[in-house]
Structure 1
Amino acid sequence: MAETQGSSTERGEQPSETPPGPGGLPLLGNTLDLYRDPWALYEELESYGDVVHYTAGGNDFNVVLDPTLVEQVLLTDHDAYGKWALGDVGGGIGSEGLVLTEGEQWQRQRRVIQDAFTMDRIRAYGDAMGQYAAEAVEAWDDGEEIALNEAFSRLTLRILAHSLFDLDIDAEAGTVAEFTRTVNDRMDVDNLTAFVPLWVPLPRNRRFKRRVAAFESFVEELIEQRRADATERDDLLSLLLAHEGDGLTETEIRDQMTTFLFAGHETTSLALTYACMALATHPGPRERLNREHERVLDGGIPSLAQLPQLEATERAIKEALRLYPPVYVLFREANRDVELGGYRVPSGQKVTVPQFWIHRKEAFYDDPDEFDPSRWTDGFEDELHDYAYFPFGGGPRHCIGMRFAMQELKTVLPTVLQRVDFELLSDPDPDFSMGATLRPAEDVRVRVRKRD
């Protein structure tokens, strides 16, 4: 682990020096560096130490590259930092939802929503997760070429809509997919227009506003349909509506649904895509999964009782999340002057916590760029810093859907892999689109081979 400077408290003084970092162009700062090659920029940033300053899009960022300091930001001193909604880049989407709210409002929302994510409720979703996965595979023809990312997006959206909202929105899947692309395109650092304020009347900005407004209208229509339905239900949407006017506003309910419809399916679909992509070109780990699935499942859909026995499956999922974390960077904003790694981060400046970079540091992982599920032994995890691997975030604001997502991944992946093999047709080392999530820049295309 890189050595960090002692805290200002330990030295008996408050730091006055701000973090070092690369110089940039007038007005633009490091915006062009971020646009041209984010990975190269981070490699340069790391040469300055564990807390590094750069500027982009008119904002001051302080990147945290050491797990001990990540823990300080997300856990120990979490109250010194607020969530940052990417300013105008984010377009205000879901601003009243759980991911972006703060303080008492966030606590109130979390108390309501966490009732939908108790272990008993999550376990009840297991049958639908497996059944929908089996139906998706059944619809593929032997020898068919498919885009894994699109196929898994449809599947995980179907699972989420049924499990959390008791909705069948298969016919509207295209609406959600278009919204997902819109949000990612808006935030993609490969597009310089991502840094252009939304009030600038560019065609791209006008198109973004239209699509967001259309999606919000779609969500509001779903809510109105539920209000008009007297059927008694036990799902997240009904739970939200039960608290309307008594803890939640109409806008908060809409933004919760917007948040979960986007993030709740997109992140899991990407995790499945990357896991299958990696397994398609790594016969050793794939064979270990074959043996485990044959021994534990014998061709069946995993039951809740069998999930703990799928240890090799869980290791493959963890390794995919390490190499390709769908939520690849977290943003915070200092709400007062803070000490971080011996430096002063001024109030109002942004703090960036990049999973995609820390997950691949040689200080913590041998052959960090290699897909190697066998590294996840009990001894390895015991020695690994908690914040050297944090695909679901950390601290009080860790992902509320973490257990739901892991159950879904451990159910869907074996269900799919027992029925088909994938011949990877795309580059096994893909380029990425770094938008709201870490997406493949091009579709991950495979040929389906049905198994006997």
Structure 2
Amino acid sequence: MSNIGSGSSDSSEGSAPRGGEDLPSKTPPGPDGLPVVGNVRSLVRDPRGFYDEMSEYGNVVSYRLPGMKFCTVLHPELIERVLMVDYDRYAKWGFEDFGGEFAPEGLVLTDGEQWRRQRTTIQNAFTVERIRSYGDTMARGATEMINEWDDGEEIALNRAFSKLTLDVLTRSLFDLKLSEETGIVTEFAETFNDRGSIDGVSTFLPMWIPTPENRRYKRVLSEFRSFVEGLIDERRGRADEYDDLLSLLLTAEDDDGNVMSETEIRDQMVTFLFAGHETTSLALTYTFLELAKNPSVRDRLDAEHSSVLGGGAPELGDLDNLSYSERVIQESLRLYPPAFILLRKATEDTELGGYRIPKGTRLTLPPFYVHTDERWYDAPESFDPSRWTEGFEDSLPDYAYFPFGGGPRHCIGMRFAMLELKIVLAIVAQSVEFELLSDPEPELDMATTLRPAEDIRMRVSKS
């Protein structure tokens, strides 16, 4: 294992100094920036190149954005420190300094006792038994999508999967069948991603500045919240007739008999409607993009489906036997982690990698960069599902691969997403082949999620 800090090589072990103990005097090194704007121009111009530049300074690297100090963490052991070991020293952070948070009372952005109370309540909707019960809905949605396609039709794959995963989510967790109302959800997803994209300086401007992006974001967020509040009002008073996440949010009480506030319920719905479908749709899009580019991988996947499923829809008992399918998904999430960067904020002066991290420092933990670090992966830019052998996984540092985050705040919907990915992959791959019509190396937009800058166009060929 390489030295991961500036001091002794074992600086990642044990607990960092706390209380009256001494902290290092030295803060992390990093690239020089410009007055006022810091490193924002380098980040906006070429995000990947900027991370390459930062990696030359070590595993904990400082940089600046307007009015704020950041550091990025590039070593798995140190990422584990932040997410797992010393997680209570780092709060969630979601660009709220710029006024762009969309659900501040939702599970993703709350902290402390409020977060623990919410997590305990919502976890009841994601038990193994409940998640397995959603399998039929996932399979039915995928089959209906395929039936809507004509042989030879040209489709935007990312948009098709976005519609599918939103439909699956709303049917499974909220017992709702959205039709024309879907438009506001997808419009918000696009608007929120536009607001959070790092390809322009407008992302780093406060919300009170009346830029076109800010005005559009405020308008669409207001419409989205009103839509969600309408769904909640329709269910209120009838929650005991349903057994889903929405009814759980409306009726669950904590140990003291308290229920969630109106804002908390709304923000949970807003969070799940956006994050619960957007990330899975992107994972499916990139998986089929790589299958279209790699015929040998597609052939091996088809052989497994034929052997295990025989052309039929997967039963829950079949999924454990789809080992190569799981490797394909793992490799897709490695190269294209939809949640491509995790954000934290130091709540106290602390130590990381032998450096002082001052209170208030924003930390970026970048799966997109760590997942392609040649220290952990051979030929890291290649799509190679066969790398995921048991021996390889055992040798890989835990946080060299973290597409669903980690620690107590790992993605609550991870099992739901993996089940959906396996089922949809099996059903679509057995029924359809895709001819890639877009650039095989599409430009990626680092926004709130890692989305394609342009639609991924495919021609459908039905088996």
Band the TM-score falls in, shorter-chain normalisation: over 0.9
The aligned counterpart of 1:129 is 138
Query: Is structure 2 residue 94 aligned with structure 1 residue 85?
Result: yes
How far has the Cα of 1:56 moved from its partner? 1.4
Give 1:301's match in structure 2, choosing from 313, 336, 350: 313
Q: Distance in 2 between matches of 1:439 and 1:116?
A: 28
Q: Distance in 2 between matches of 1:406 and 1:204?
A: 34
Query: Is structure 2 residue 352 aligned with structure 1 residue 340?
Result: yes
Give 2:283's match in structure 1, choosing from 251, 271, 292: 271
Deviations 1:373-424 (A, max 9, x none): 0000011001111100000000000000000000000001110000000111
The aligned counterpart of 2:266 is 254
Q: TM-score, normalised by structure 1?
A: 0.97
Q: Distance in 1 between matches of 2:332 and 2:309?
A: 22
Distance verdict in 2 for CA 1:247–1:219, change over 3 Å: same
Q: TM-score, normalised by structure 2?
A: 0.95
Deviations 1:194-253 (A, max 9, x none): 111110122321121111001000000000011154661100000000137823101000
Residues 89 and 187 in structure 1, CA contact (< 8 A), matched pair in contact too: no
The aligned counterpart of 2:372 is 360
Query: Is structure 2 residue 31 aligned with structure 1 residue 19?
Result: no
> Aligned pair count?
451
The aligned counterpart of 1:114 is 123
Give 2:46's match in structure 1, choosing from 23, 37, 52: 37
Give 2:398's match in structure 1, choosing from 386, 390, 399: 386
The aligned counterpart of 1:217 is 226
| Amino acid in the other structure paired with 1:18 | T
Matches within 5 A, 1:95-114: 95-114=104-123
Residues 34 and 56 in structure 1, CA contact (< 8 A), matched pair in contact too: no
Query: Is structure 2 residue 452 aligned with structure 1 residue 446?
Result: no
The aligned counterpart of 1:324 is 336
Residues 59 and 74 in structure 2, CA contact (< 8 A), matched pair in contact too: yes
Residues 108 and 247 in structure 1, CA contact (< 8 A), matched pair in contact too: no
Residues 71 and 362 in structure 2, CA contact (< 8 A), matched pair in contact too: yes
| 3-state SS in 2 of match to 1:366 | coil
Deviations 1:356-376 (A, max 9, x none): 000000011110000000000
How far has the Cα of 1:2 moved from its partner? 3.6
| Amino acid in the other structure paired with 1:258 | V
The aligned counterpart of 1:427 is 439
Deviations 1:113-159 (A, max 9, x none): 00000000000000110111011011111111101100000000000
Q: Distance in 1 between matches of 2:16 and 2:216?
A: 52
Give 2:172's match in structure 1, choosing from 153, 163, 171: 163
The aligned counterpart of 1:3 is 3
Runs of 5+ consecutive residues of structure 2 not aligned to the other structure: none
- Structure 1 residue runs of 4+, over 6 Å off? 8-12
| 3-state SS in 1 of match to 2:209 | coil
The aligned counterpart of 2:417 is 405
Query: Is structure 2 residue 263 aligned with structure 1 residue 284?
Result: no
| Amino acid in the other structure paired with 1:177 | T
| 3-state SS in 1 of match to 2:107 | coil
Runs of 5+ consecutive residues of structure 1 not aligned to the other structure: none
Q: Distance in 2 between matches of 1:36 and 1:90?
A: 23
The aligned counterpart of 1:437 is 449
Q: Distance in 2 between matches of 1:329 and 1:206?
A: 26
| 3-state SS in 1 of match to 2:180 | helix
Q: Distance in 1 between matches of 2:75 and 2:214?
A: 36
